[in-house]
Structure 1
Amino acid sequence: MLIRSWDRGSEAEWRDFMVGRDFGVLAANGRGDDGPVLVPTHFALDADRGEILLHLASPNPLFAAIEANPRVTLVVTDDYVFVPGYWQASRTPTSYYAAVQFDCLAEAVDSTAGKAEILNRQLAHFQPETPEVRVVPGAEPYGPRLSGIRGLRLTVGEVRAKFKYDDKVPVEQQSAAAQRLADRAGPGDAGARAQLVRRNRQRGGCPVEQP
């Protein structure tokens, strides 16, 4: 992912962006001739520990790929919109989006206790309202199903964050784009506008009214 100096996100930005976001695409290279394996998946991120946990069905081809090469990348992209050329002073269409990439080392988890731990940490994240629902190895209803899955523990090595919201143009042009997004009010426009307004304010731009 190309990140220009004006698009680069700080650690505080990507941590804030990831709050409430727990679905992405996990990519593994595998063998050089096989091409990458891409898996859309939910996950549980522990940013403080530098760890990402998830599970997949045992036959998933991603496991063969990480056996060949354990280096993987998880990417989360959101708040994206198309920006028409006639909105731009340059007359060039562009895209606004936020993306965070986690470069990791992947470890398959096959022990019953290890898989139960991963599932319980995911349940604590995704279903905090049901603390009584937990996986106990060998116990119904979930224990007997553990043989059908494999866990994955990703150790985060590097995080790259990009917030592409025209920080290279004058702040007045950013403000005008924010107004256009408010007027268009299409799918994704509210999220992209919020990111654009935030970045505009970081640069000391003129206050942009909320729609």
Structure 2
Amino acid sequence: MTNDKEIVIASGNQNKIREFTEMLAPLGFQVKSTADFTELPAIAETGTSFEENATIKAQTVAQALQVPVLADDSGLVVPAINGEPGIYSARYAGDHDDDANNRKLLQRLQHSDDRNAYFHTSLVVMKPTGEKLHVTGIVSGEILTAPRGQNGFGYDPLFYVPALNKTLAELTDAEKNQISHRGRALEKLQQVLMDWW
């Protein structure tokens, strides 16, 4: 397969870009990120759902660059606290401050016996023509009372997966890709992307 399929990841998050590249490169995609371009318009994530925010990101960048764009919107959903942090996961306690976000989550859950949670990912691929592909992925688990593990980012050290007896931050990248919400969404995407493309 030739490497003539270019796709841009609408993210500056190096962790996400690495995960996406690991999954898309074997399909023959040349992966770039918004960090590779200057003068991109600002993206206002004004959606009320993960899918809406991912669509806004993909659409904005696809129209600006005139190439297909992959965007995701992901977050942690904790039903016991009204689905928080949800679409505000990255800026729950401030802008992309993982430690502050984790502290706020623990504080919100300190009196709750129900610590069930899940990570949700919406992936949207959009062509400059407006053609859109949307898939989702979910991984269920529980929120611990203290962080565990050194890998991962965001809420990974608090997110415990009972089936593995580990937090997401205790998994290798390969292990996490196999079970993570983003990994599951990308797996679905891999199955349908080539036909859609």
> Do the structures match in fold with TM over 0.5?
no
- TM-score, normalising length: structure 2: 0.34
Give the number of the structure with larger relative contact order, counting CA–CA contacts within 8 Å between residues 6 or more apart. 1
Structure with bigger gyration radius: 1
By percentage of residues, which structure has more strand?
1
- TM-score, normalising length: structure 1: 0.33
